[in-house]
Structure 1
Amino acid sequence: MSDAPLHPCLSCGACCHQFRVEFSVYELVSMGGKVPDVLAHEVNGNRWRMNGTGQHPVRCAALTGLCGQESICSIYEGRPSACRDFDMGSQRCDQARAAHGLPPIDPNWGAPLPQAA
């Protein structure tokens, strides 16, 4: 069993509850990409959106668990580019976390610990 702290994104999901996720049709499995077609719908021609992210309240169809409690993306390895490009600890991340009553992520999370003298 590891004593390593859980990565903040594996217990958060605030961004998945906050933002619309749109991406190119070419990211769909049917077009050679990795996003399952069943989890998205066409917006217009070349643009697709993750189900659940174009309505309020927002909740991405790929999310499992509850916001702030072991929320995990069920397609993490094949998530859309909009999700891959989202930066943990960014202003938008802090905004999403605040909207769900979560504190900002410590900017030093995951930094190497100082070596003892």
Structure 2
Amino acid sequence: MTRDPADPGGFACQECGACCAYSAEWPRFSTEDDADIARIPAAYVDDPAGRMRCEGERCSALEGRVGERVACKVYAVRPEVCRTCEPGDPECLIARRHHGLPV
């Protein structure tokens, strides 16, 4: 994993993805209204749980291999909880440790 000096936490998010594959409980909708959620393709929304749909612990909108190369299929309309996750913040470091990535 390379460190990105332009990235506040020093981690290159598109080479990581740990935060998107750490816990099915993290990708919860918090500030989104119905219109915001409607912009996210239905295949990636778990309405009864009020969160993004997950496959195990991994968000179903995450493509690629954690720790190598990843991308979000709904990046432009991702929920607030995803927008506020910052490289190097406590949640990032927890997820990176969980996946055995350097912190």
Shorter-normalised TM range: 0.7 to 0.9
State the structure with bigger RCO (CA 8 A, min sep 6), 1 or 2. 2
> 1:37-76 alignment to 2 at 5 Å?
37-43=42-48, 48-52=50-54, 57-76=56-75
Bigger Cα Rg: 1
**Structure 1 residue 43 displacement after superposition:** 2.8
AA in 2 matched with 1:17: A
Which structure 2 segments of 5+ residues have no match?
none
Structure with greater helix share of residues: 2
Distance 2:41 2:100 in 1: 31
How many aligned positions are there? Answer: 90
Q: TM-score, normalised by structure 2?
A: 0.76
What do the CA deviations read for 1:76-110 (whole angstroms, capped 9, x no partner)? Answer: 11111110011211011011001101112xxxxxx
The residue correspondences of 1:1-117 to structure 2 (distance < 5 A) are 8-19=12-23, 20=25, 21-23=27-29, 24-26=32-34, 27-29=36-38, 34-43=39-48, 48-52=50-54, 57-104=56-103
Point out where structure 1 has 5 or more consecutive residues left out of the alignment.
Answer: 105-117
